[in-house]
Amino acid sequence: MTTQNLLVELFVEELPPKALQKLGDAFATVLGDQLKAQGLAGSASVVTSFASPRRLAVHVTNVLSQAPDVEIVDKLMPVSIAFDSDGKPKTPLLKKAEKNPRCLEQLKNWPAQGTGADQLFVKNDGKEDVLYFRSLAAGRDIERGLQVALDTSIAKLPIPKVMSYQLETDCELPGWTSVNFVRPAHGLVALHGSTVVPVKALGLTAGNSTTGHRFEAAVSPVVLQDADSYAATLQKDGAVIASFAERKAEIARQLAAAAAKVGNGARPIEDEALLDEVTALVERPNVVICQFEEQFLGVPQECLILTMKANQKYFPLLDAAGKLTNKFLVVSNISPEDTSFVTGGNERVVRPRLADAKFFFDQDRKKTLASRVEGLSKVVYHNKLGTQGERVERVRAIAKAIAQQLGDAQLVQDADLAAQLAKTDLVTDMVGEFPELQGIMGGYYALNDGLGDTVANAIEDHYKPRFAGDALPRNTAGVVVALADKLETLVGMFGIGNLPTGDRDPFALRRHALGVIRMLVEKDLPLDLGALLAGAVPAFGDKITDASAALADFIYDRLAGSLREQGYSAQEVDAVLALRPQRLALVEKQLAAVRAFAALPESPALAAANKRVGNILKKAEVEGPVDAHVNPELLQEKAEQDLYAALQRFVPEANAQFDAGDYTASLQTLAVLRAPVDAFFDDVMVNAEQLDVRMNRLGLLKMLHNAMNRVADLSRLVS
């Protein structure tokens, strides 16, 4: 039984670049896990993934040539069922033993114990005596075990789209067989140390040679001496950097070096997704510097950057101030001595793209945004909610109501104009070509129309925040329109029952809800959530039903998740959100107060008492509402008199602190109620027989409950 390192490679045609890294990681992980599950590799074995445009490979250390034998213990049946009164096997046992000849052989000699690896024995399982069969299964050898691991890893690859291709059959009779895989496979390598493991996959039999770079490999095929020399040999003889991570790091290094060569603080645009995609497109990266005519810099840089990134996979260069330069970087897959052909070819290719962007920009500016409003009535938004034109009118109505709460007539005017024009860039040529620029182009065209920075920024920003961590709108008008836009989507979709499911959210309702939360909280807006939702419903007329309650629950759920991610405990979040606070901007202050209260020694007792009070009131209110009113003349016991006196003394102070926004001080002031509350429950029977006394005591508890639960439902702090 020997231990060697293992190398497996599948050589295929060009793999889908956006899926390459995931395919490589999955191939390596599943194959490694399978080897470990079979005992051929151990927990200390290191699994290394390789993925290039034309290969998936995995290197596993410390792989055995033969897995150790495995002891297997099968529970057969209770002894009372297995044997008769004379100790002879009964029919159920004989039928079960017939399925395993080794077990049947041992049964013939029963009750004599087996002397080898096979053994029948009796053991009590805690209830009764049970018959077991112990045997030793031979461990799998590397060929059989690797075949299972390879088949499983191929079957479990997260292939985005399967291809079917024909493969000539390897037999005496000519013919073809159909193979399904992500791309046609042309080679298979399997080396255990320096020994070829003759496994098969996708119509291929493993060997020890692979294919290098299409044009720059020093030799073809590339022969691998052993598993450990894979990466080095492939780079030396095949001109391929097999490791995805190493290739990505090399590209990043070359990009930085090329930018430094350009000088003047130039830096390549940061885009992790683009870097990953380019890494999946090249086997031997070589970065070259290219440029385009400066006249194109008159086009908004977002347009130029997008066309270079999306269509050509180029890295635009920005100057020290973050403005686009007329230089860009190309990651080539070849390394000729004279790069002029590479440079010239890419410069010729990008020029028509930039010319198209310039043409769209020039053409779009010939019409004002206001003249495009009518065109939105021809664009369908949703079959149940009408056109984009109808949607714009709803957003305007919602924005106007919000603006009237937040500002003066100027804000109302700016927000209304921005809301009216915010979607008009959807019918421009530029956004038609590049939908990712919606909002951005609207801002540029608004400036071109002379509408000023306030309205232009509001139009550009009304989609924000577009994703987690994105910036919020820059001005109040932008916040108003962004809120109105997201509320229109949420209220409309909930109103027609178009709700997100576990894995589907086509209208990004979760993201919209988080956007509303962030703006209300981070901009500290004096707006009540319930009023916002209810205020948006009338804009839809009879197109929807009012689903404000379900939508509020949805938003509070998103808020709860966000707060837990920020480090607040589930109990703290539950205690605050149980009260459905309307001013979301104040929630974090309430959480801080709850956390400070929970640290007080009086907290556990008061929280428990609060829960008890809540349960008492809940039962009492089945017969009718309990009024938080106390008649001092009906207070008979000293404990209830003391509690009433404490409430009269400390609740006004706590309420004043609450009204001033000092929630922490408010709860800490109420902490002194612990002693009178404990005494009340020790000495006073709430459900007195005399009705007026009972109702008076319930009123006292209602007064206590109201005072204690203004910041949070403290009963939620009880485990």
Residue 477 token pair: 């008008």
- Output the average pLDDT for the chain: 92
| Three-state secondary structure call for residue 184 | coil
Q: Which CATH class is domain 600-717?
A: mainly alpha
pLDDT tens-place string over residues 178-232:
888 999 999 999 999 999 999 999 999 999 999 999 999 999 999 999 999 999 9
Q: Is the pLDDT of residue 81 over 90?
A: no
- Residues 216, 236: Cα–Cα separation, whole Å: 11
Compute the half-sphere exposure of residue 52: CA atoms within 13 Å on the CB side of its CA.
28
Cα separation, 676 vs 655, whole angstroms = 19
pLDDT at 112 > cutoff 80? no
Fold match between 374-567 and 600-717?
Answer: no
Question: How confident is residue 657, by pLDDT bands cut at 50, 70 and 90?
Answer: very high
Domain 3-67+141-238 is found in CATH 3.30.70:
yes
Structure tokens at 663: 């929630």
Q: Are the C-beta atoms of 328 and 351 separated by less than 8 Å?
A: no
Among the ranges given (137-141, 295-299, 328-332, 522-526), the one the predictor scored with the smallest mean pLDDT? 137-141
Hey, where are the domains in the chain?
3-67+141-238, 70-137, 244-364, 374-567, 600-717
CATH classification (class only), 374-567: mainly alpha
Give the model's pLDDT for residue 106: 79
Banded pLDDT at 346 (limits 50, 70, 90): very high
pLDDT in tens, 521-550: 999 999 999 999 999 999 999 999 999 999
Range 418-433 average pLDDT: 96
Contact 146, 197 (CB under 8 A): yes
Which pLDDT value is given to residue 24? 96
pLDDT of residue 172: 53
Task: Give the mean model confidence (pLDDT) for residues 681-690.
Answer: 88
CA distance 77 to 130: 6
Residue 461 pLDDT > 70: yes
Helix 244-262 vs helix 272-279: crossing angle, to nearest 10: 120
Alpha-carbon distances, residue 700 vs 459, 705, 710, 714 (angstroms):
55, 9, 16, 18
Confidence of residue 315 (pLDDT cuts 50, 70, 90): very high
pLDDT on residue 103: 80
Q: What band does 170 get if pLDDT is binned at 50, 70 and 90? A: low
Q: Tokens representing 469?
A: 């961590």
Percent of the chain scored above 70 by pLDDT? Answer: 98
What pTM was estimated for this model as a whole?
Answer: 0.81
Q: What is the mean pLDDT of residues 126-133?
A: 85
Residue 275 has phi, psi (to 5 degrees) of -60, -40
Q: What is the pLDDT of residues 350-400, one digit of tens each?
A: 999 999 999 999 999 999 999 999 999 999 999 999 999 999 999 999 999
